[in-house]
Amino acid sequence: MTITTKVAPFGLKPWFSERVWGKKSLQPWYDETGTTELVGEAWLTGPQCVVEGGPFAGKTLASVAEKMGGEFPLLVKILFPADKLSVQVHPDDAQAKALGETRGKTECWYVLEAEPGATVALGLKPGVGAKQVAASVDSGTMESLMQHVPVSVGDMLYVDAGTVHAIGPGVVLLETQQTSDVTYRLYDYGRPRELHLEKGLQVMKSETKAGKIAPREMDGFTRLIEQKYFVVDRFEFGAASHGAVSFEGPGCLVGLAGSGAVKTAGGDLALSPGRAIVVPAGDGSVVVETNSGVSFARCVAPV
C-alpha cells in the first residue's frame, strides 16, 4: 500500500545500525552516532526513524505512514563498511511471498566515497550455479566465484533481486531499496553469524540485470537510475539559487554536500549532508533554496 493522504514534507533523524563490519566514527557525515559500538549503516528513511519538528515531531516514520494510509515505500541508507559485508542475496517479490515475507528487496548503490582500487562484488561469474556456490562455502572460496567491479565516486550500481553480492571496505554508498530487510547470508568469512544457505541458494540467480548504470543528463538534474521500484536523481544548486523539485510519487531528498533549505508552509527544513526530508504525497513539487550551494539526491518510488 502507498501513502495517499496529502501531508507537508518533514525531516527525519537518522537511525544508526550497529554492524560488525562498521566504523567507530562516521565523520564527516555525522559527528555522533549515540553508541560506542561499530556502526555500519545510517538509515535515513527507516520505519524507526523519528520525525524532527512539525506536527509529527517525535513520531516514527512507520507510525506517520500508518496514519496516512500506507507504508513509506523506500528505505534509503548510507553504508559505511570498514570490513567486508557478508556475501548475500535478496529474494524478488514472488520469492519473498512464497517464503512468508511481505516483499522482496531490489536495491541500488550510489558511490559517495571510494578509495583508489575499491571494488564491489556484484553477481556470479558466467557458468557458476548453486552447486558451485554451496561447495565454495565449505572451502572458503566463494569470493573467487564473483564478479568484482571497480568503483569510483559518482558510479551508480543496480542490484537486482537474486544477485549474489558483497561490499568491501574503501567505499561509502547511498543505498536506495524497497522497504525490506530480507537478507540471506551465503558466506561470512568465518564470522560467528547465522547463514541462510538453503534460502539463499533457493532465491539466487546465475544471471541478473545487475551492473553499472550510466547517468543521463536531464533538464536541470542528472538521472542516476530509473527502475521499477525507484528513481534516483542528483541535483546541483549553485550559490544564491533556488528551484522547484518535482515529485511523481512518494520519496525524499537526501543532502549530499553543502547546505540548503526546503521551503514549506510550516517553515524551512534544513537540507544537509546525511539527512533525509520526506515528501510523502509525491504529487507536486517542493522548492529548494541555498545561499552557498547544495548537492542532493531525489529518491522517488514511481506511481
Give tens-digit pLDDT for 116-143.
999 999 999 999 999 999 999 989 999 9
Rounded average pLDDT over 70-75: 93
Query: Which runs of E-coded beta strand occur in 138-215?
Result: 146-150, 156-159, 165-167, 171-178, 184-187, 211-213
Residue 205, amino acid: K
pLDDT of amino acid 78: 98
CATH architecture of 216-300: Sandwich (2.60)
Percent of residues, the chain, with pLDDT higher than 90: 90
Each domain of the chain, given as residue ranges in start order, spans: 10-213, 216-300
C-alpha cell at 142: 566463494
Grid cell digits, residue 256: 549530499
Report the helix count and the strand count for the chain, using DSSP H and E: 4, 24
**Least confident piece of the model among 1-10, 107-116, 218-227:** 1-10
The answer to whether residue 106 scores a pLDDT higher than 50 is yes
Residues 303 and 248: beta-carbon distance below 8 Å = yes
CATH fit for domain 10-213, picks 2.40.390.10, 2.60.120.10, 3.40.50.280, 3.60.15.10:
2.60.120.10
For residue 6, the model assigns a pLDDT of: 66
Task: Report the C-alpha gap between 253 and 235 in whole angstroms.
Answer: 10
216-300 has the same fold as 10-213? yes
Cell of 112: 559517495
Tens of pLDDT, residue by residue over 183-195, are 999 999 999 999 9
pLDDT given for residue 1 in this prediction: 34
- Residue 28, preceding peptide bond in cis (omega within 30° of 0): yes
